[in-house]
């Protein structure tokens, strides 16, 4: 659910960033996502012409897609710095995470 105040704030930001001169807007986001509010409501209320991409044109036949490589996906751990809480075991999560990453072939910590 998208709250009215969030939409109003979003519209104000878009007005400031993009401006109020109408143009043509290609809407490619599914209406299941909240960003479709931008592509449909903001554009229409500002006088834009909205072109909605059909589902058929979003997908290409398998033969038209580039070949995929067989490269495996790399995994890493990323930590945000924080001293909240502190205490004696403040680095335990970092050390245990690094051990786990080493044991399971992660690319980086």
Residues 96 and 51 in one domain: no
Q: Can you give the pLDDT at residue 65?
A: 58
Q: What is the pLDDT along the chain (109 residues), one digit of tens a residue?
A: 667 888 889 889 989 998 888 889 888 887 777 778 777 888 999 999 988 877 655 555 555 556 667 777 888 988 776 666 666 777 888 889 899 999 999 988 8
Q: Residue 79's pLDDT is what?
A: 79
- The structural domain count of the chain equals 2
Has residue 63 been placed in a domain?
Answer: no
pLDDT value for 56 = 59
Rg (CA), the chain: 23
Q: How far apart, in whole angstroms, are the C-alpha atoms of residue 66 and residue 72?
A: 17
- Written as one string, the DSSP assignment of 22-60 is --EEEE-S-TTSTTHHIIIIIHHHTT-EEEEPPHHHH--
pLDDT given at position 13: 92
Residues 53 and 19 in one domain: yes
User: Is 64 domain-assigned?
Assistant: no
Are 37 and 77 part of one and the same domain? no
Shared domain check, 46 and 11: yes
Domain check: are 54 and 76 in the same one? no
Q: In which domain, by residue range, is 54 found?
A: 4-58
Report the predicted TM-score, pTM, of the whole model to 2 decimal places.
0.45
What's residue 99's pLDDT?
Answer: 93
Q: Identify whether residues 8 and 53 lie together within a single domain.
A: yes
Q: Are residues 45 and 82 in the same domain?
A: no
> Is 44 within 8 Å of 50 (Cβ atoms)?
yes
- Tokens 């519209």 correspond to 11
């Amino acid at each position: 659910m998208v709250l009215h105040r969030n939409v109003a704030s979003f519209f104000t930001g878009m007005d400031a960033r993009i401006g109020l001169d109408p143009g043509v807007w290609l809407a490619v986001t599914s209406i299941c996502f909240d960003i479709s509010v931008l592509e449909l409501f903001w554009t229409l209320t500002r006088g834009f012409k909205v072109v909605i991409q059909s589902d058929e044109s979003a997908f290409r036949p398998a033969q038209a897609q580039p070949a995929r490589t067989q490269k495996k996906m790399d995994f890493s751990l990323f930590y945000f710095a924080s001293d909240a809480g502190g205490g004696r075991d403040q680095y335990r999560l970092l050390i245990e995470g690094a051990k786990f990453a080493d044991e399971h072939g992660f690319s980086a910590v």
